[in-house]
Chain A
Amino acid sequence: MSDAFIRAMEIAVLVFAGVVVVLAVAVVAVDRRNARWSRRRAELEARWRAFLLGEVPDPPPMPVTDRDRTAVLVLFSELTQEPAGPAPAPGREAVTAAGRRARLDRVAAALLHGDHVDKVVAFHGLARLGGDAAAETARTCLDDPGTELSRAAARYLLLVDPRALAPVLDRVRQRPDWGPTRVAAMLAEIDPNAVGQGLASAIDRSVAAGDTHGTIRLLGFGSCGTPEAARDACGRVLDPGADSEVLAAALRGLAEVARPGDAAVARLYARDTRAHVRLAAIRVLRAVGAHEDLALLGSMVTDPDFWVRRRSAEALVALGAVSAASPPTADLAAVSAGSPPTGDLAAVDDAYARDALVEAMADARFTGLGGWPALRTTGPRVVG
């Protein structure tokens, strides 16, 4: 090892030792800053929460630092957001009014000049605090590649400008990165009639544009509008010539808002050659099926597709065609393990069908007739 090389290593040791010292100091400094901020945030949140929830009449002194402003606005957004778990004590409107009294809109507007995280905070705050002063900025941010910023801008626009629904729904169609939960929460904050009509128009535009994925995605949000509008939207795309994924999505949407008359449509598609369409039709029959559908569902428990068998068996149990009250689960387990079937099951020759029925009956015993939560999706199926 040459002397020059050793010299180079000596320099490297000194340089990196210096970096280690700097980092060690940084670790200690950040640690102290974290501790200070934790205390400060707890105090800030306690004081602002008390004011926003109406427990004290006067707002705390205006926050000063960027972090203070962000913390207060995030707290305000949390207290006013939909859907929430337990509703905040005096209600969202009271919190919003308190926020306006404290001029949080000015605080939020100041953050609009910050980076994209500041803008996200600002849009969420302004969405409730009102005022369309930031509308132009929001329209620009609507097409931002960042998921959070574009979504926050969309939420703000939806709440301050009723005309923004159409462009926002077009973005919903085109942007799979806007997660369905967030979109549903956003749509739940505005008038369901407007959402229903807007969705119907957006679906029309999507079908006209030949956007299969977009149409499926929009159909998934049917429940955010009124049931009538959702039925109407599903009905528009229930055309035998449509893409099978679109058909299945429309049937799934229909199942949530179906009326007894819709069973006729489901019967038609229950005989489709594609398993995912049959599966979606079973959901409608399970929701609004009549006595005459029991034979059809009975024939479907011998379907070649595993999930069609299972779902039709569940539908039969839910519709009362197969008694879930007897025999006891232990007997069902015995049938599954090879004991001779009795009761309703004795009439079932097909072992696959019997399996499906046995499990559906046991499910009903354990979970009630509601059974397991069914898959809802706003995108293409991920599993057959």
Chain B
Amino acid sequence: MSRQVPAPWDTVVFAVEVTLFTYFVVCNLFYAFTAVVATVRLPALTRLRRADPGPRAAAPLDPPVSVVIAAFDEEELIVPAVRSLLALDYPAFEVIVVNDGSTDATLELLAREFELEPYPAVPRVSVPTTEVRGTYRSLTDPSLTVVDKVNGGKGDALNAGLNLSRYPLVFAGDADSTYDPATLRLMVEPVLADTRTVGVGSTIAVAGRGGERDPDAPPSGLPRGLLARFQVLEYLRSFLATRMGWAPFNALTVVSGASGLWRKDILVEAGGYRTDTIWEDMEITMRVHNLMRSRRVPYRIAFIPYPVCRTHVPDTIRSLYRQRKGWSRHLAECVTIHRRLLGRGMMGAAAFPYLVVFELLAPPFVALGLVFFVLALAFGFLSLYAQVVLLALVLILAILMSLVSVLLDQVSYNVYGGRLNGPLVIALVLENIGYRQLVWVAGLAGTWAWFWRRPLRPGATADPGAARPPGAFVRAYRPGPPAGRTTEAPPATQLAGQQGSGRAAAQFPPPR
């Protein structure tokens, strides 16, 4: 039995109890809402896809796509990643790899593997970037262009690729991911089916063991290790049970940086990728929402449930902690930069508040809850039995959400293949003991670092195992407006002066 709390503390305790419980209930209602929407939509979509697979080959009427990937210190994974991109089944596309000032042999490996030659590219500088040191084309596959530039972050590298891109659609990917050959065909489909579509995101799967023995084999199946399997469950929850639920309401808050297709004119109009945030994917998604809502034109950011991309996830606790700290900080940056989205459409009325209250504020609330229950136990104003019941409820709901996600995967694409993997079931229970707490602590640290504007060490998130852009080493936090944009470039021969060629800019006509 619990002890009676003396006034006025009884009011405080009651208020905290009500707040925490309301938070818990509303949070789970949101989860339930998106899971129900996904459960209704996903099996139907999958069935329809199987019933109407479409032409086996892409046709020349498909719009050409520029694939842009940023690479920073990616010597281990860059070659298979570029190979998987060059093997895409699509009639017209180019691959632009931007080497963002790597300190390892990324550029040398690319040069050797793909026989790079200097190529006098003339960029249409739509978005300013750091100095471009050189541009190269592959002799073995001319659709591959490599840009070598001074380090500036993933957003800056993507902007450099954007400037060089030739086509109206841009697919932004990651250098540590591998892609299904049908990636572009599937990602372009929503753009063709609905002319209002300005961006398309997709499910991302965790890279499995498939490619361990044969580097050319796709990394299918479940990954090794409990830590990676915890992340498999997280990815399933995040993509199938959450994003799939928000997408029909045009309320997607993030098009993942590992697999996102955008209309180039919209990216340029939005000012390109921002370079002063830790990562760029959520920020550009929210900026496009903001831009399109300001223009008051109908638009759509679509989502395809098929996992076109497999990415490598952190395989150590340290790298996972760094990654999640960065994610949390990026989330804080985005919701403050784009606070004007609040209340605008379904995105502003539900998805954005959900993001703030149940993603950004979740770690502080969890911390508050833990402190409250420890105090309650210490001072005896909440019985041990009540605490056990509450804890059981939390655990059961967490397991329930994971089970729903696994079930959604099974009734759709069965991404991790084969019979139900015993270790995945074990992970489903074990992730609640230690793993989730680690993620909360990292989230709290990220929010704290954002609050005090603490710069992260360069390379702090540049973990080769990070699912987010590995090139996203971070410079000191510098709040400021999005990068300015120009619609026309000075001639490349004039830019040459800025690119270290030594030729004076004054020798050439001024920019038009």
Contact = CB atoms under 8 A, between A and B. Distances in A.
A373 B64 contact: yes
A378 B61 CA distance: 8
A30 B409 CA distance: 10
Interface in B24-77: 44, 47-48, 50-64
Contacts of B382: 1
A310 B52 contact: no
B389 A10 contact: yes
Given A16-B393, A85-B56, A185-B59, A366 B491 contact: no
Contacts of A121: 51-52
Contact of A1 (B17, B51, B52, B397): B17
Contacts of A184: 59, 61
A151 B52 CA distance: 10
B51 A373 contact: no
B91 A373 contact: yes
A103 to B, nearest CB: 20
Contacts of B117: 329-330, 366
Interface stretch (B78-86, B346-354, B442-450, B494-502): B494-502
B229 to A, nearest CB: 15
A137 interface: no
Given A35-B419, A338-B496, A376-B61, A30 B407 contact: yes
| Max chain A Cβ within 10 angstroms of own Cβ: one of B2, B64, B404, B492 | B492
Contacts of B118: 329-330, 333
A23 interface: yes
A24 B124 CA distance: 55
Interface stretch (A76-84, A164-172, A258-266): A76-84
B379 interface: no
A255 to B, nearest CB: 13
Contacts of A355: 122, 491-493
A377 B167 CA distance: 12
- Interface of chain A, helix or strand or loop or mixed? helix
Interface string B366-399: 0000000000000000110110011011001101
Interface residues of A, number: 80
Given A337-B499, A354-B491, A148 B399 contact: no
Contact of B414 (A34, A378, A383): A34
B410 A117 contact: no
A335 B59 contact: no
B168 A185 contact: no
A373 B92 contact: yes
B20 to A, nearest CB: 11
B105 interface: no
Range class of the B interface residue count: 35 or more
B195 A356 contact: no
B114 to A, nearest CB: 12
Given A81-B56, A366-B139, A336 B48 contact: no
A16 B400 contact: yes
A27 B407 contact: yes
Interface stretch (B186-194, B274-282, B284-292): B186-194
A198 interface: no
A355 B385 CA distance: 77
A208 interface: no
Contacts of A350: 509
Contact of A336 (B92, B404, B496): B496
A336 B118 CA distance: 11
A181 interface: yes
Given A85-B56, A376-B61, A383 B264 contact: yes
Interface string B169-199: 1000000000000000000010011110000
A35 B2 CA distance: 52
Contacts of B419: 31, 35
Contact of A23 (B54, B56, B119, B403): B403
Contact of B400 (A19, A82, A120, A376): A19
17 contacts: A1-B386, A6-B389, A16-B393, A27-B403, A31-B420, A117-B47, A120-B52, A121-B52, A181-B54, A185-B59, A355-B492, A358-B122, A362-B137, A366-B119, A366-B139, A373-B60, A384-B265
Given A16-B393, A336-B122, 12 more contacts: A6-B383, A10-B389, A16-B396, A17-B396, A27-B406, A30-B407, A85-B57, A152-B52, A176-B194, A185-B59, A376-B63, A382-B263
Task: Give 9 closest A-B pairs by Cβ, nearest first.
Answer: A338-B503, A336-B120, A373-B92, A179-B192, A333-B118, A31-B420, A351-B491, A366-B142, A23-B403
